[in-house]
């Protein structure tokens, strides 16, 4: 018979912990604007051209881009990756999505509703919660001839169409614009357009205008070693446009502010923090009372210790979606 040891207990605990799917919302990579292509126009600029080189999307595949669905939450002014509609999400990702659930709910109402006005309103609400497709490229951006690492670029279908045209035109001349040594940079133009708002006023909005491939074929980076380093960079699109958990998204959807509660190891709405703390304190008191009645109940010791730290939470990270 084998000996029962503390090590065996710990080994089992570690094995179980390691086998659980990684919670991507607790990202290893914190928000850094360096990870995103910058297509921002300054106040005094009406249009601007950006120079980019598309590189493979990951270090371990030949993919050039990924289709990623996003929910735009107008109230929260947040863009959230839809785990349900996005096809290629990391293994272990919970594919359920609260926004899609709400959208489906409105469609169900729409189908049974007879009144035309209400029907229209259900349709509008369903569409408001619908995930929209975007594509994500990985690039090297040159700003005044300087690049500082691989950057992810979230684009509309119009951009993908134009990248495809540039690719096709060059293909006729036997040029692969994506080749790291003999490919081509892209020049992408953005300009400000007047957009009418609901209140009747107009506002300038930056929009994609056009793109074309460079005439010259150039290496993606002159420094081959550095290029190799950047192409091998482990950051994936979902580390930069992070997938949030169902709970996180549900809180945003309900107009709350997600707050990671470390002792509870889950996302809560910040407004519930006080109530949760009070509840925890009440439990501690209860347990203390029980312990005085029966000192044999030592199993409460750890729990009591944990619950007293309930108020401490991790500092909230900056939102990672600058859109």
Q: In the complex with Zn ion, which residue's Cβ is closer, 37 or 243?
A: 243
Q: What angle do CA 257, 154, 105 make, to 5 degrees?
A: 50
Q: In the complex with Zn ion, which residue's Cβ is closer, 54 or 80?
A: 80
Nearest to 163 by CA among 137, 193, 133: 137
What lies within 8 Å, CB to CB, of 35 at 6+ separation is 29, 149, 151, 152, 235, 240
Q: Least separation, in Å, of the C-beta of 100 and Zn ion? A: 3
Nearest to 273 by CA among 290, 287, 256: 256
Using CB under 5 A, pick the residue from 55, 80, 81, 82 that binds Zn ion. 82
DSSP 38-78: --PPPTT-SEEEEEEEEE-SSTTS---EEEEEEEEETTTTE
Q: In the complex with Zn ion, which residue's Cβ is closer, 79 or 139?
A: 79
Piece in contact with Zn ion (CB under 5 A), picked from 99-107, 157-165, 253-261, 263-271: 99-107
Nearest to 145 by CA among 39, 221, 68, 234: 221
Contact 221, 227 (CB under 8 A): yes
Taking CB under 5 A as the rule, does residue 100 contact Zn ion?
A: yes
Q: Least separation, in Å, of the C-beta of 275 and Zn ion? A: 29
Contact 136, 154 (CB under 8 A): yes
Taking CB under 5 A as the rule, does residue 84 contact Zn ion?
A: yes
What lies within 8 Å, CB to CB, of 263 at 6+ separation is 280, 306, 307, 309, 310, 312
Q: In the complex with Zn ion, which residue's Cβ is closer, 99 or 267?
A: 99
Site string for Zn ion, 24-63 (x = CB under 5 A): ----------------------------------------
Name the DSSP class of 222. Answer: S
Taking CB under 5 A as the rule, does residue 68 contact Zn ion?
A: no
Piece in contact with Zn ion (CB under 5 A), picked from 52-60, 77-85, 198-206, 255-263: 77-85
Contact 310, 280 (CB under 8 A): yes
Taking CB under 5 A as the rule, does residue 238 contact Zn ion?
A: no
For residues 108-167, which are near Zn ion according to CB under 5 A? 131
Q: Least separation, in Å, of the C-beta of 237 and Zn ion? A: 17
Using CB under 5 A, pick the residue from 97, 102, 163, 220 that binds Zn ion. 97
Piece in contact with Zn ion (CB under 5 A), picked from 52-60, 96-104, 164-172, 259-267: 96-104
Taking CB under 5 A as the rule, does residue 99 contact Zn ion?
A: yes
Piece in contact with Zn ion (CB under 5 A), picked from 36-44, 75-83, 146-154, 224-232: 75-83
Q: Which positions lie near Zn ion, rule CB under 5 A? A: 82, 84, 97, 99-100, 131
């Amino acid at each position: 018979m084998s000996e029962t040891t503390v090590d065996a207990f710990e080994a089992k605990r570690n094995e179980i912990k390691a086998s659980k799917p990684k919670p991507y919302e607790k990202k290893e990579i914190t928000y850094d604007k360096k990870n995103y292509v910058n297509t921002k126009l300054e106040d005094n600029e009406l249009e601007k051209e950006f120079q980019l080189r598309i590189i493979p999307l990951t270090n371990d595949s030949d993919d050039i881009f990924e289709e990623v669905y996003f929910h735009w939450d107008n109230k929260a002014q947040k863009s959230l990756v839809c785990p349900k509609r996005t096809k290629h999400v990391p293994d272990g990702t919970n594919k359920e999505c609260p926004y899609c659930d709400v959208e489906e709910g409105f469609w169900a109402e729409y189908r049974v509703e007879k009144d035309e006005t209400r029907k229209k309103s259900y349709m509008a609400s369903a569409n408001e919660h619908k995930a929209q497709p975007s594509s994500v490229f990985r690039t090297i951006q040159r700003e005044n001839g300087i690049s500082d690492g691989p950057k992810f670029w979230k684009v509309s279908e119009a951009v993908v169409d134009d990248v495809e045209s540039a690719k096709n035109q060059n293909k006729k001349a036997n040029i692969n614009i994506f080749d790291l040594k003999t490919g081509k940079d892209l020049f992408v133009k953005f300009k400000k357009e007047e957009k009418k708002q609901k209140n009747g006023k107009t506002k300038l909005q930056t929009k994609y205008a056009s793109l074309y491939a460079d005439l010259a074929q150039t290496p993606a980076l002159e420094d081959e070693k550095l290029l190799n380093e950047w192409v091998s960079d482990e950051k994936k699109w979902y580390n930069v446009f992070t997938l949030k958990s169902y709970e996180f998204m549900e809180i945003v959807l309900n107009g709350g502010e997600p707050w990671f509660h470390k002792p509870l190891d889950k996302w809560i709405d910040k407004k519930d923090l006080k109530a949760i703390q009070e509840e925890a304190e009440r439990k501690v008191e209860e347990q203390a009372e029980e312990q005085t009645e029966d000192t044999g109940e030592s199993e409460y010791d750890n729990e009591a210790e944990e619950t007293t730290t309930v108020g401490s939470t991790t500092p909230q990270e900056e939102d990672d979606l600058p859109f």
